[in-house]
């Protein structure tokens, strides 16, 4: 594999994993709407069935918020690179970015891309883990919500 092939593959991996992150956020947004409906229509926790429905729905909402919240990753690299948007915006201008980018050795740029691919994968893993819990809690709340609607 040539250096250009590796760079192209890394950029494609970065795009793919960024799309997984966006996909997890979109799925969580859907569960936020569903669980908000459960909470709004189930009423107060007057009986054990409603209380259980509300508990599962609220738990799911909290997991969804863990999916969509932005946070600084403590394991993120401290060094600046020419790939991460925060580092790029720290340069103050497009011209400053171009000058910085052109001054980089190809191996340094490749290392920055590889580091961002890895960080994006860890973000996707965290988001899908939280989403998995949100989905399980939503699935538990669903029959309880249906039962509360039938009992009314």
Task: Work out the percent of the chain whose per-residue pLDDT is above 90.
Answer: 49
Mean pLDDT of 73-89: 69
- Give the chain's radius of gyration (CA, Å): 22
Residue 10 is predicted with a pLDDT of 85
Residue 78 is predicted with a pLDDT of 62
Cα–Cα distance for residue pair 38/36, rounded to 1 Å: 5
Looking at 46-50, 111-115, 118-122, which range is the least confident one? 111-115
Of 62, 70, 8, which Cα lies nearest the Cα of 35? 62
Q: Assign residue 79 a region: left if phi > 0, alpha if psi is -120 to 50, beta otherwise? A: beta
- State the residue for tokens 């993120």: 76
Cα–Cα distance for residue pair 132/79, rounded to 1 Å: 32
Instruction: Say whether pLDDT at 94 is over 90.
Output: no
- pTM for the model stands at 0.81
pLDDT confidence of 24, banded at 50, 70, 90? very high
pLDDT confidence of 93, banded at 50, 70, 90? confident
For the beta carbon of residue 110, count every other beta carbon within 10 angstroms: 17
Mean pLDDT of 52-79: 84
Looking at 10-19, 33-42, 100-109, which range is the least confident one? 100-109
Q: pLDDT of 117-152, one tens digit each?
A: 888 899 999 999 999 999 999 999 999 999 998 987
């Amino acid at each position: 594999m040539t250096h250009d092939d590796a760079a192209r593959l890394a950029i494609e991996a970065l795009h793919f994993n960024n799309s997984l992150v966006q996909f997890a956020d979109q799925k969580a947004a859907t569960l936020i709407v569903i669980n908000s409906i459960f909470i709004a229509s189930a009423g107060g926790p007057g009986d054990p069935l409603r209380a259980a429905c509300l508990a599962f729905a609220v738990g799911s909402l909290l997991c969804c918020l863990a999916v969509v919240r932005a946070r600084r990753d403590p394991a993120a690299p401290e060094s600046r690179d020419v790939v991460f948007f925060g580092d790029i915006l720290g340069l103050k201008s497009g011209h400053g970015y171009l000058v910085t980018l052109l001054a980089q050795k190809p191996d340094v740029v490749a290392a920055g891309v590889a580091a961002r691919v890895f960080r994006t994968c860890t973000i996707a893993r965290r988001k899908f883990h939280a989403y998995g819990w949100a989905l399980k809690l939503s699935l538990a709340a669903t029959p309880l919500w249906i039962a509360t609607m039938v009992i009314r």
